[in-house]
Structure 1
Amino acid sequence: MSAENRIIASFVIPPKLSDKRLDQAAAELMPEHSRSRLQSWVKSGALTVNGGQCRPRDKVMLGDKLELDAEPEAQVTWQAEAITLDIVYEDEHILIINKPAGLVVHPAAGHADGTLVNAILNIAPEVENLPRAGIVHRLDKDTSGVMVVARSLIAHTSLVNQLQTRTMGREYEAVVVGTLTGGATVDAPIGRHPTERKRMAVVKSGKPAVTHYRVIERFAAHTHVRCKLESGRTHQIRVHLTHVKHPLVGDPVYGGRLRLPKGTTEELREVLSGFHRQALHARQLTLEHPQTGETMSWDVPLPEDFQLLLAALRKHVKDMESDEF
C-alpha cells in the first residue's frame, strides 16, 4: 500500500503532556482517532515512541517523538441511508455540506441512524475507511450551516492539521438576547460543567477557547452578530456568549427562560416563543484544498427560520418607531 493511502503522523511530546500515559497523550494529539484505535496501534507497533514499541500505559516524556504509520481499516459499522443533503461542493477529496438544523452529525446513543454520517456513507462509501467516517469537525444538531467532510486520507490529515493550527476559517451568525454596543473577544477556557455533565461551561480547568464577535445589526432588545472561532470547543459560541450575559435566542440548554422586550407585539411573541433552537448558523468556511493548496471559501445563506426571526425583530423596531410619532 502506497504511503499516501496510509495513516502517517509524527508528533513531539510538549510540556503539558509530559509524564502522561502514552494512550492519553496520543488521544490529546490525535483527537480524530478513538482511544481504542490508538491503543490497538500502540500494541501492534504501528504507533511508536522514539522508534520503539511501548505499552499504552507507559509514560511519555517531554521531547519524546511519537510516530504513526498504520494501514486504514474499516472504522465504522453504521449503515448508509438515502438522506437528501445540500451539497455545496464536492470532489474526490472533500465534501462541503450545508447542514440543516435538526440533523445530528455523528451516530451516538439515541441517534444510531438518520445522521449526517449515514447520509455520507450513501454518497461516499469510501469514508468508512477514515477516522470518524471523515468527520473532522461538527455542528450541533440544531445549528445549521456549512461544514467540510474528508473523503480521502490526504484530505483527512490536511483538514485535521488546519483545524489544529487554526488556519481553517469558520464564521457564524447568531442572534443574541440583549443589545451589544460593539464587538469584542471572549477568551475563556471551556470544559465540562462541574455539576451538570451534559452542559459545558467556562471553567478554570477547561481547554483554551477564543471567540471573536462583531455586531451586524441591533434591535430593540436583541443583536445580530457575526462570530469567528480561533478554537473549536463543544458548544463554544453558545457558552461564550452566555458567559458574557448574551445567550443565543432559542437556546434550549444555555438560553434560560424566554425574555420578551418591552412592548413586544403578539406577532414577535409568537416568533420568539416558537424559535426552539439556538439561533446559530455556520455562515462561512475557508480552507486550503488538501491536494492543490488552493484557498477556497464557501458562504451559505441563512435558513428560512433564521431569516423570519430577523424580519420579525426588524418589524418590531419599525412598529416601535411608528408609535413614537
Structure 2
Amino acid sequence: MKTIKNFNKKIPPEMAGYRLDKALAELFPSYSRARLQQWIRDGYVLVNTVAWRAKDKVKGFESVQVSVQDKEEVPWKAQVLPLSLLYEDKDILVVNKPAGLVVHPGAGNQDNTLVNALLYHAPELALLPRAGIIHRLDKDTSGVLVVARHLAAHTHLVTQLQARAFMRKYQAIVTGVLVAGGTVDAPIGRHPKQRIRMAVVENGKPAITHYRVIQRYRAHTHIRVQLETGRTHQIRVHLAYKHYPVLGDPVYGGRLQMPSASSDTFRKTLRTFQRQALHAAELGIIHPNSGEWVQWAAPLPDDMQMLLAALEKDRQEHA
C-alpha cells in the first residue's frame, strides 16, 4: 500500500554551506541519507519550489518541500528474545550482539532481530530513529554496539560517530600470513557491477582501516583492527583488497585456503566455519550525559576461540 507523505521545513541558518542531502538528513533523521538522495533524484524534493541536486549547497532560510509516495511502513514490534547487555543506564544501552543476529528488521527479516529484542527491553526506543541504534554490525559479525535511549543521547552519539570520535576495535582471522601491521586508506563505494557488494572504488567515500598482527599461523593470521571511518563492510572490503580476506567471508573471502599436510580434523574445522571470522571486541565513546570517556569489551565468541585453538594446534604440529 502506498501513502502520500508531505513535509515542509525551513533550512536553519546554522546549516549554511551544507549539501542539500546532508541538511535533509539532519532535518529528517527518521530517513536514511540514501533514501533522501533517491527522493532528490526522483524530483520529490523542492527547494524554494525548484528541484535541486543532492550536492547543491544551502545558504539557510530556504523552504524545503518533500512530497513523496512511499510504502506504508509496518511498525517494528517488540519480542521476547535473548539480549546480552554489557551495560545500561538511563541514557544508553551497550549490547554484545551474537553472530547470526540481524540488527534491523527488513525484507525477509521482519522479526527476530536485535531491534525486536531491544523494543521489548526498552519500549521508548520506538520513538527514536532506527530504534536508537547508532552503528550497525553485519548479521554474521559479533560484538559490541551502542544504543541511545532518548533523542538527546542519540544526537550526541551520532555527532561523535560523524566526528570519528568512537573507538572501535575488532579482532579478525584472515587468510594469508601477514608480515606486519599497516593501514588501508582506500575509498569504498558500491561495486560497479555487483550492486549487493561494496568495493574499493575511485569515487567512493573515504575509508581508513588500521590493523596489527596478534598471531601468525601456517596460512592464516589473527589480527586486531581499528576503524577510523565506518563504511559498509569496511573491514571485509579493505582486507580483501589487501589480499588477506577475512576467513569464512561468504562475499569477499574467495576460495578456502587449506595449508598443506593438514589433518582431517583441522580441514573439517576450517570447512565448517560458516561466517566471517570478525568480532567487534571493544567500543569507546564519550558518555552523552556525563561527558566522561567510557569503554567496553566483549569476549571473543566460542566459535572464534575454537578456530584459533585449531589454528594453534596445526601450527605446533608443523613447527
Closer, same or farther: CA 147–31 of 1 in aligned 2, 3 Å: farther
RMSD: 2.7
Describe the shift of the 1:170–1:125 C-alpha distance in structure 2 as closer, same or farther (beyond 3 A): same
C-alpha deviations, 1:72-120, integer Å up to 9, x for none? xxx9711100011110000111000000000000111111111001110
- Answering whether residue 59 of structure 2 is matched by residue 64 of structure 1, we say yes
- Counterparts of 1:124 and 1:81 in 2: how far apart (Å)? 11
SS in 1 for 2:51: coil
Residue segments in structure 1 that go unaligned for 5+ positions in a row: 1-7, 40-52, 68-74
In structure 2, the residue matched to 1:241 is: 239
Alignment of 1:8-27 (within 5 A): 10-14=14-18, 17=19, 22=20, 24-27=21-24
Aligned sequence identity (%): 54
Correspondence 1:221 to 2:212: no
Which of 104, 107, 114 is the equivalent residue of 2:105?
107
Deviation of residue 283 (structure 1)?
0.3
Find the partner of 1:33 among 30, 35, 57.
30
Matches within 5 A, 1:244-323: 244-321=242-319
Partner residue, 1:78? 76
- CA shift, 1:61, in A, is 5.1
The verdict on how the C-alpha distance between 1:276 and 1:110 changes in structure 2, with shifts beyond 3 A counting, is: same
SS of corresponding position for 2:243: coil
Q: Any residues of structure 2 matched to 1:137-152 within 5 Å, and which? A: 137-152=135-150
User: Following the alignment from structure 2 to structure 1, what is the Cα–Cα distance between the partners of residues 218 and 51?
Assistant: 57
Q: Which amino acid aligns with 1:34?
A: Y
Name the CA shift for 1:199/1:32 in 2 (closer, same or farther; >3 Å).
Answer: farther
Question: Quick check: 1:76–1:133 contact (8 Å CA) kept in 2?
Answer: no
- Conserved 8 A contact 1:84-1:119: yes
Point out the more displaced range, 261-270 or 28-37. Answer: 28-37
Kindly state the Cα deviation for residue 258 of structure 1 after the two structures are TM-superposed.
Answer: 1.1
Which residue pairs with 1:48 in the alignment? none
Match of 2:154 among 146, 156, 162: 156
Structure 2 vs 1, CA of residues 30 and 314 (structure 1 numbering), >3 Å: closer, same or farther? farther
Pick from 223, 228, 231: which aligns with 1:230? 228
Q: 1:237 to 1:30 in 2, by over 3 A?
A: farther
Divergent runs of 4+, >4 A: 27-32, 35-39, 53-56, 58-63
Kindly tell me: are residues 88 and 10 of structure 1, through their superposed partners in 2, closer, same or farther at Cα, counting changes over 3 Å? farther
Matched, 1:177 2:171: no
- Could you tell me how far 1:262 is from its partner in structure 2? 1.5
Q: Is the 8 A contact 1:85 1:119 kept in 2?
A: yes
Asked if structure 1 preserves the Cα contact closer than 8 Å seen for 2:25 and 2:36, the reply is no
Give the whole-Å Cα distance in 1 for the aligned partners of 2:170 and 2:286. Answer: 19
Structure 2: how far apart are the matches of 1:261 and 1:311?
16
Distance (whole Å) between structure 2 residues aligned to residue 238 and residue 66 of structure 1: 42
Structure 1 CA distance for aligned equivalents of residues 276 and 14 of structure 2: 39
Q: Is the 8 A contact 1:172 1:280 kept in 2?
A: yes
Contact 2:85 2:94 in 1 (8 A): yes
One-letter identity of the residue aligned with 1:26: A
The TM-score with structure 1 as length reference comes to 0.83
Query: Residues 54 and 293 from structure 1, CA distance in 2 versus in 1: closer, same or farther, beyond 3 angstroms?
Result: farther
Total equivalences in the alignment: 290
Match of 1:45 in 2: none
**SS in structure 1 of the partner of residue 279 of structure 2:** strand
